[in-house]
């Protein structure tokens, strides 16, 4: 299949599909962290129009959408950042690609556009961490857990199981918080790559 991973600089999801023999391309305004894979540095919406895709997985930036930043919503609404972010999501959801998924943390996409089809946790895919991730789906089944370690995760101290929420300020904190967990990427490739 021809698989487009939108708004992905890390290459984690792209590489999971490529390992299964798919033509997988990541696209982001940033260069990729894994230069050995196919990456288009540029406009995702333009690439969506220019090329036919069998499957697309979108990871739109959550900076202006995630409820974890709700204290900044008034300013983001006033200067238009939140409106532009929501319009970008709407345009992705209106893609001509028949099979797509859009991933974001708990965000205003749920109240402004529509509720997610599924909420997953890293611990459902072998990672002993918590980070609720919403999936909006079109033409795809919900992801099935592959290695549920919830009991072990919940037994950990809060600062360990909620590691991404406790990361100290740093220049790359946003990257660490937004990179897809390998177990989730593998589940996407395995379960959605054979449809």
Residues 6+ positions from 178 with CB-CB distance below 8 Å: 59, 61, 62
What is the per-residue pLDDT for 166? 66
What is the per-residue pLDDT for 163? 76
Distance CA 115, CA 132 (A): 14
What is the per-residue pLDDT for 2? 97
Name the nearest CA neighbour of 92 among 71, 61, 124.
61
Distance CA 99, CA 77 (A): 31
What is the per-residue pLDDT for 67? 82
Pick the CATH number of 2-119+133-146+181-192 from 3.40.50.300, 3.40.50.970, 3.40.50.150, 3.40.50.1950: 3.40.50.150
Domain chopping of the chain, boundaries = 2-119+133-146+181-192
What is the per-residue pLDDT for 174? 60
pLDDT block averages, 10 residues each, the chain of length 195: 96 96 96 87 95 96 83 88 96 97 94 97 96 96 97 92 74 69 96 85
pTM: 0.91
What is the token pair recorded at 50?
A: 């220019």
């Amino acid at each position: 299949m021809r698989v487009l991973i939108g708004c992905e600089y890390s290459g984690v999801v792209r590489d999971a599909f490529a390992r299964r023999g798919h033509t997988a391309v990541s696209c982001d305004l940033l260069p990729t962290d894994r230069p050995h894979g196919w990456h288009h540095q540029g406009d995702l919406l333009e690439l969506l129009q220019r090329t036919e895709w069998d499957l697309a997985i979108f990871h739109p930036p959550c900076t202006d959408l995630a409820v974890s930043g709700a204290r900044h919503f008034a300013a983001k609404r006033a200067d238009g950042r939140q409106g532009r972010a929501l319009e970008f999501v709407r345009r992705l959801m209106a893609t001509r690609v028949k099979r797509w998924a859009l991933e974001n943390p708990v965000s205003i996409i749920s109240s402004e556009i529509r509720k997610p089809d599924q909420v997953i946790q890293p611990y459902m895919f072998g990672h002993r961490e918590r980070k609720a991730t919403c999936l909006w789906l079109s033409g795809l089944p919900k992801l099935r857990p592959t290695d549920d370690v919830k009991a072990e995760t919940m037994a950990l101290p809060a600062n360990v199981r909620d590691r991404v929420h406790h990361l100290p300020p740093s220049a790359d904190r946003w990257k660490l918080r937004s990179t897809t967990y390998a177990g989730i990427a593998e589940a996407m490739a395995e379960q959605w790559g054979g449809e």
